[in-house]
Amino acid sequence: MHFPGYYEFFCPVEIIAGHRALEKIPHLLNRLGAQRPMIITDKGVAGAGLADIVIAAVTPKLRIGAVEDDVPTDSDLKTVHEFAVNYRKKGCDAIIAVGGGAVMDTAKGVNIVVSERAEDLMQFSGAGALTRPLKPLVAIPTTAGTGSEVTLVAVIADHARNLKIPFTSYFLMPDAAVLDPRMTLTLPPAVTAATAMDALTHAVEAYTCLTKNPISDAHARLAIELIGQNLLNVVNEPENADGRFALAVGATLAGAAFSNAMVGMVHALGHSVGAVCGVPHATCMAILLPYGLEYNMHKNGELTAQLLLPLAGSRVFVQTPAYLRAQQTVAFIRQLNQRLHQDTGGRHARFFKEVAGPDGSAQVPMEKLEAIAEKATGDASILCNPEELDFDDLVMVMSHAWAGTPLDRNRVKKGSLQI
Amino acid sequence: MRLPEAFSFANPLKINCGSHALNHLPIELAAFNANAPLILSNRDQIGRKGLKTVIDAFKTSGLALGIYDRLSDQPQPDLMPVLVRMYQDGGCDSIIVVGSGSVVDTAKCLNVMISADDHVSIEDSDSKMTDPGPLRPLMLVATVGGNGDEVTGYASDGVRRLRSPRLVPDVAFIDPTMMMAGRDGRNVVDGALIALVHAVEAFLDDSTGPMCRAYADAAIGLIVQSLPMALGKTDRKRSLCAVVNGQVAAGCAFFASSPGICHALAAQLKASTDIPPGLIMAPLLPHLIDELGGTQPERVGELLNPMVGADIFAGTAADLKTPLTVALFWEFFDAINAELSLKIPMSLGEAGLTDEKLEQIRSVVDGNGVQNHVLRIIDRARKGPALISG
């Protein structure tokens, strides 16, 4: 068991999970001293009827103070301030966030503004700016998922200045995360696939990168097992409520893991592809995950090998010779991406060349690979990656992730960083 | 993995573990806007050096510290009003408790008394406390000799065992410089075994969900893999740190689940023997596993993973996983006994429990459902590991 020199683990978010978990929210808010929540969601979630399911489950025990369903696809500074004004105007005393990552981040931002009575959210940007608990926040994820329901981070876009502003504080963590499979039952197969691969990446990077610890490891292994055992079934059988529940719980476990153990080059590159080309985060994670494991294999291959068990099960693990297990893990993930590609009718992308934008055009042109690599050199996630990466290394990885070809591990420069 | 139909889990504890963990004490207090802690400890338990180590963490902080290091290892109800006055007169705003057992219980009870409204007091409430509301910050500096109870929402006030999530400390600091073991390792082993049993019972509890299981998994791995080395002669601090980390993780899992059969049986048996409670629980554990291997073979088999790793877990045939797990626990106790003067008994008979006493306990067990497990565990544990006679 890996026992680090020093680590911290903190996940105080109350997890309420089950097929009727939503019905427990009134009692929960009551315990938190709140009675008049604002629901924050987006048009997609509202259009799928999920906000109505939540409202039906919590009323009439709770009186909903306001419903805001206009969260943009990435959370936005202006939106945060508008929602905060309405929160105060309607006398709300809590937030229920129903949605994916952007909704969660928006809700966290609104909670800062209303709790601190701030005029400008920006004064709380960065790490450690908050100094006291915020008002009650309940997170109901509708994807499985970003794990944002248990993280201490929010990223809010300032579109006016074309910037993404991070907010980091333990006080940002929701009071509770409510995991109810009704919230993901209608998630389309391609989104199910990509968001589950996002969750898988969180767990895998938490387990294989530099700041892992025994508790995050245990969370990560269970997350990988739940996702590995259920993802393909759910993509092919979308109304499998037990499978949906398993993926939701797996995503939250993965969120707790990476929130306490950080991530690595998969996220560094993924953030950059998202920033430069607008590719959704989950799509980037699915494509880049095997490349991160390949690149780092000479440093952390033993850890990657261990993940073959929760990912592929005992039979595959036992019949794979120990020295080949790390490669087998990578192969399994590639195969998973391939199966998901087939089972979603081609919508789940296996490599960047086949990622198409809303207008059908290629979203990641080859000419952008260097810009992506340049941006990734400045991404904080690169700090916890087991192997060092410079611009040339990142270009090399991106060129393979673009074309869909495995890395030539002989071209990976072996740095002096001891892990 | 099969999930329960519904579950909930909450653990408000932050864990800071490893080198220089104590240096974070002032920072963690500041996160709660606290700057006038009352430090509580038992000098006999941690020694002058232990207390100095904690005080040194505040060297450059500029904070004034209140200190009371004369707590005993038994509950002291008469002392509570004195501590309350000390806290209030000293202008304190937080509590740091250093140690384990009753010292931590005292700190938790004090926290209720200085935090709660006038109409809520421990004397007025029964064991399941009315919610005392938010308490003042409580930091735990964990030491060897604990059993994980320190990080739960349980506290004994000398009469009752109180329960409230509010009693859980805010932060647990596990620092190698505080890992001082007694010469024969008894204080290490007793607490570690209690924690291990709690972790195993939480791991096997199907109703608690995977978050609880993650803490239990980590606890089992840390204790089983580190305890033998922690009793060795050299380089013990890191292993002791891992064991205490395991105890803390076990406490988190234990509080999220219900006390199990071994816990309940040991509670009944301890009045009849001088042997420390952890050393009574230990010989029950393999029999519990054997029993539950009949009804939950898959979950019992999964214990192999944190105990001995993925290769043995995955490579052991399904019908051999339970017997192997049982055998491994006996081997674990045997390895520990090699380092101890007071040995873990291999049977209840060896623990000094007479047949008469065991009959007495047997007779109050009804003999239905889970109680049949209990009866069989008592019967098998009388004799110890199953051996072919001859």
Q: Looking at residue B369, what is its pLDDT?
A: 60
Mean pLDDT of A219-227: 98
Domain count across chain B: 2
Do residue A229 and residue A119 come from a single domain? no
Q: Looking at residue A236, what is its pLDDT?
A: 96
- What residues of B are in contact with residue A20 (Cβ under 8 Å)? 6
Strands A163-168 and A153-158: antiparallel
Do residue A115 and residue A198 come from a single domain? no
- What residues of B are in contact with residue A256 (Cβ under 8 Å)? 211
Residue from B114, B109, B103, B113 nearest B54 by CA: B103
- What residues of A are in contact with residue B6 (Cβ under 8 Å)? 17-21
Q: Looking at residue A227, what is its pLDDT?
A: 98
B135 Cβ contact list (under 8 Å, min separation 6):
B111, B112, B115, B116, B166, B167
Q: Which residues of B touch A (CB under 8 A)?
A: 1, 3-21, 31, 33, 209-211, 213-215, 217-218, 221-222, 225-226, 238, 241-242, 245, 249, 306, 310-311, 313-315
Q: Looking at residue A171, what is its pLDDT?
A: 95
Do residue B375 and residue B325 come from a single domain? yes
Task: Answer whether A225 sits within 8 Å of B1, measured CB to CB.
Answer: yes
Task: Answer whether B3 sits within 8 Å of A246, measured CB to CB.
Answer: yes
Determine, yes or no, domain membership for A148. yes
Taking CA atoms, what residue in B is nearest to A6? B18
Percent of chain A at pLDDT exceeding 90: 81
E-assigned strands of A2-130?
Answer: 6-10, 14-18, 37-40, 66-68, 94-99, 126-127
In whole angstroms, give the CA distance from residue B341 to residue B343: 6
In whole angstroms, give the CA distance from residue A324 to residue B13: 39
Kindly report, residue by residue over A59-101, the tens digit of the pLDDT.
999 999 999 999 988 788 999 999 999 999 999 999 999 999 9
Say whether pLDDT at A170 is over 50. yes
Do residue B226 and residue B332 come from a single domain? yes
Residue from B80, B65, B10 nearest B34 by CA: B65
> CA–CA distance from A210 to each of A300, A333, A391, B320, B327 (Å)?
9, 21, 21, 36, 35
> Mutate which of A7, A9, A245, A308 to disrupt the B interface (most B C-beta within 10 Å)?
A9
Residue from B297, B3, B168 nearest A242 by CA: B3
Kindly report, residue by residue over A102-114, the tens digit of the pLDDT.
999 999 999 999 9
Determine, yes or no, domain membership for B185. no
Residue from A281, A179, A284, A192 nearest A233 by CA: A192
Task: Answer whether A8 sits within 8 Å of B16, measured CB to CB.
Answer: yes
- What residues of B are in contact with residue A16 (Cβ under 8 Å)? 8
Taking CA atoms, what residue in A is nearest to B225? A1
Determine, yes or no, domain membership for A418. no
Do residue A90 and residue A198 come from a single domain? no
Q: Looking at residue A213, what is its pLDDT?
A: 97
Q: Does A15 touch chain B (CB under 8 A)?
A: yes
- What residues of B are in contact with residue A5 (Cβ under 8 Å)? 18-19
Do residue B237 and residue B370 come from a single domain? yes
CATH code, A48: 3.40.50.1970
Taking CA atoms, what residue in A is nearest to B5? A18
Q: Which of B4, B9, B18 has its CB closest to that of A7?
A: B18
CATH code, A380: 1.20.1090.10
Determine, yes or no, domain membership for A1. no
Q: Looking at residue B129, what is its pLDDT?
A: 66
Determine, yes or no, domain membership for A304. yes
Q: Does A229 touch chain B (CB under 8 A)?
A: yes
In whole angstroms, give the CA distance from residue B143 to residue B102: 13
> CA–CA distance from B353 to each of B6, B299, B357, B386 (Å)?
41, 31, 6, 19
Determine, yes or no, domain membership for B234. yes
Domain count across chain A: 2
Do residue A84 and residue A111 come from a single domain? yes
Q: Looking at residue B131, what is its pLDDT?
A: 79
Domain stops at, among A133, A153, A183: A183
Domain stops at, among A167, A183, A199: A183
Task: Answer whether A249 sits within 8 Å of B242, measured CB to CB.
Answer: no
Residues 320-339 of A with CB under 8 A from B: 322
Q: Encoding tokens for residue B25?
A: 């004490």
Task: Return the minimum-mean-pLDDT range out of A245-249, A370-374, B233-237.
Answer: B233-237
Q: Looking at residue B375, what is its pLDDT?
A: 82
Q: Encoding tokens for residue B348?
A: 């209840």
Handedness of CA B265, B268, B274, B278 (dihedral sign): positive
Domain stops at, among A139, A164, A183: A183
In whole angstroms, give the CA distance from residue B325 to residue A59: 49
Mean pLDDT of A249-277: 94
Task: Return the minimum-mean-pLDDT range out of A8-17, A381-390, B34-43, B217-226.
Answer: A381-390
Per-residue pLDDT for chain B (390 aa), expressed as one digit of tens each? 889 999 999 999 999 999 999 999 999 999 999 999 999 999 988 888 899 999 999 999 989 999 999 999 888 889 999 999 999 999 999 999 999 999 999 999 999 999 875 444 444 444 556 778 889 999 999 999 899 999 999 999 888 888 999 999 999 999 999 998 766 678 899 999 999 999 999 999 989 999 999 999 999 999 999 999 999 877 788 999 999 999 999 999 999 998 888 888 888 887 778 888 898 889 999 999 999 998 889 999 999 999 999 999 999 999 999 999 999 999 999 999 988 888 888 888 888 888 888 887 777 765 556 677 788 888 888 888 877 665
Domain stops at, among B146, B178, B210: B178
Q: Looking at residue B2, what is its pLDDT?
A: 87
Give the single-character DSSP code of A71. Answer: -
Kindly report, residue by residue over A319-330, the tens digit of the pLDDT.
999 999 999 999
Task: Answer whether B12 sits within 8 Å of A317, measured CB to CB.
Answer: no
Expressed as residue numbers, the domain containing A149 is 14-183
CATH code, B133: 3.40.50.1970
Q: Encoding tokens for residue A43?
A: 């048009």
Do residue A270 and residue A351 come from a single domain? yes
Say whether pLDDT at A419 is over 70. no
pLDDT band per the 50, 70, 90 thresholds, residue A346: very high
CATH code, B303: 1.20.1090.10
> Mutate which of B13, B14, B15, B164 to disrupt the A interface (most A C-beta within 10 Å)?
B15
- How many beta carbons lie within 10 A of that of residue B61, not counting itself? 15
Q: Does A306 touch chain B (CB under 8 A)?
A: yes
Task: Answer whether A249 sits within 8 Å of B210, measured CB to CB.
Answer: yes
Determine, yes or no, domain membership for A419. no
Expressed as residue numbers, the domain containing B205 is 193-383
- What residues of B are in contact with residue A170 (Cβ under 8 Å)? 31
Do residue A52 and residue A160 come from a single domain? yes
* Interface predicted TM-score (ipTM) of this complex, two decimals: 0.96
- What residues of B are in contact with residue A322 (Cβ under 8 Å)? 311
Determine, yes or no, domain membership for B390. no
In whole angstroms, give the CA distance from residue B358 to residue B286: 18
Do residue B174 and residue B218 come from a single domain? no
